[in-house]
Amino acid sequence: MSESHPAIGIDLGTTFSAVARLDETGRPTTLANVEGDKTTPSVLFFDGDEVIVGKEAVKAMGDEMPCVADCVKRELGQRIYPKELASRQYPPAVLQAWVLHKLGQDARAQVGQFHKVVVTVPAYFDEAHRKATQDAGYMAGFDVMDIINEPTAAAVAFGYQQGYITAKEGVTQSQTILVYDLGGGTFDVTVMEIGDREFRALATDGDVHLGGQDWDRRLVDFVAEEFITRFGADPRQHPNSLGRLWRESEDAKRTLSARSKANILCEHGGHSLRVEVTRGQFEELTRDLLDRTVFTTRETLNAAGLGWSDLDRVLLVGGSTRMPAIGEMLKDLSGSEPDRTVSPDEAVAHGAALHAGVLLARHAGRSPSFKIANVNSHSLGVAATDRKTGRPRTATVIPRNTRLPVTAKRVFHTQKENQKSILVQIVEGENASPDACSQVGRCSIRSLPPELAARTPVEVCFRYLENGRLTVYVAIEGIDKRVKHELLRENSLSQEALDSWRKYISGLSPMITSEIQ
Binding site for ligand AMP (CB under 6 A): 13-16, 183-184, 212-213, 250, 253-254, 257, 318-320, 322-323, 344-345
Instruction: Output the smallest distance, CB 286 to ligand AMP, in A.
Output: 11
Cβ-based nearer residue to ligand AMP, 12 or 497: 12
Instruction: Output the smallest distance, CB 223 to ligand AMP, in A.
Output: 16
Cβ-based nearer residue to ligand AMP, 13 or 104: 13
3-state secondary structure 179-245: EEEECCCCEEEEEEEEECCEEEEEEEEEECCCCHHHHHHHHHHHHHHHHHHHHCCCHHHCHHHHHHH
Cβ-based nearer residue to ligand AMP, 77 or 319: 319
Q: DSSP assignment, residue 504?
A: H
Instruction: Output the smallest distance, CB 13 to ligand AMP, in A.
Output: 4
Does the bond joining 510 to the residue before it have cis omega, within 30 degrees of 0? no
Nearest 5°: phi and psi at 198?
Answer: -130, 140
Instruction: Output the smallest distance, CB 259 to ligand AMP, in A.
Output: 11
Q: Which of 99, 112, 127 is nearest to 31 (CA)?
A: 112
DSSP state letters, 278-344: EHHHHHHHTHHHHHHHHHHHHHHHHHTT--GGG-SEEEEESGGGGSHHHHHHHHHHHSSPPB--S-T
Question: 284, exposed or middle or buried, with CB in 10 Å at 0-12, 13-18, 19+?
Answer: exposed
Cβ-based nearer residue to ligand AMP, 212 or 434: 212
Q: Which amino acid is at 132?
A: A
Q: Which amino acid is at 312?
A: D
CB 28 within 8 A of CB 118: no
CA distance 214 to 323: 13
CB 419 within 8 A of CB 452: yes
Instruction: Output the smallest distance, CB 343 to ligand AMP, in A.
Output: 10
**Rounded alpha-carbon distances, angstroms, from residue 71 to 10, 113, 211:** 17, 29, 11
Mutual orientation of helices 287-303 and 324-334 as an angle, nearest 10°? Answer: 40
CB 437 within 8 A of CB 118: no
Instruction: Output the smallest distance, CB 315 to ligand AMP, in A.
Output: 13
CA distance 271 to 211: 31
Q: DSSP assignment, residue 67?
A: G
Cβ-based nearer residue to ligand AMP, 185 or 235: 185
CA distance 211 to 39: 17
Instruction: Output the smallest distance, CB 39 to ligand AMP, in A.
Output: 6
How many Cα atoms occupy the beta-carbon half-sphere of 67 within 13 Å? 18
Cβ-based nearer residue to ligand AMP, 16 or 464: 16
Mutual orientation of helices 92-111 and 495-505 as an angle, nearest 10°? Answer: 50
Cβ-based nearer residue to ligand AMP, 218 or 253: 253
Strand-pair category, 16-22 with 68-69: unpaired
Nearest residue relative to ligand AMP (C-beta): 212
Instruction: Output the smallest distance, CB 401 to ligand AMP, in A.
Output: 24
CB 73 within 8 A of CB 65: no
Cβ-based nearer residue to ligand AMP, 19 or 452: 19
Instruction: Output the smallest distance, CB 395 to ligand AMP, in A.
Output: 36
CB 301 within 8 A of CB 178: yes
Cβ-based nearer residue to ligand AMP, 175 or 320: 320
Instruction: Output the smallest distance, CB 305 to ligand AMP, in A.
Output: 29
Instruction: Output the smallest distance, CB 251 to ligand AMP, in A.
Output: 9
Instruction: Output the smallest distance, CB 411 to ligand AMP, in A.
Output: 43
Cβ-based nearer residue to ligand AMP, 39 or 394: 39
Cβ-based nearer residue to ligand AMP, 289 or 497: 289
Instruction: Output the smallest distance, CB 486 to ligand AMP, in A.
Output: 34
CB 60 within 8 A of CB 67: yes
Cβ-based nearer residue to ligand AMP, 316 or 424: 316
Q: DSSP assignment, residue 434?
A: G
Cβ-based nearer residue to ligand AMP, 13 or 54: 13
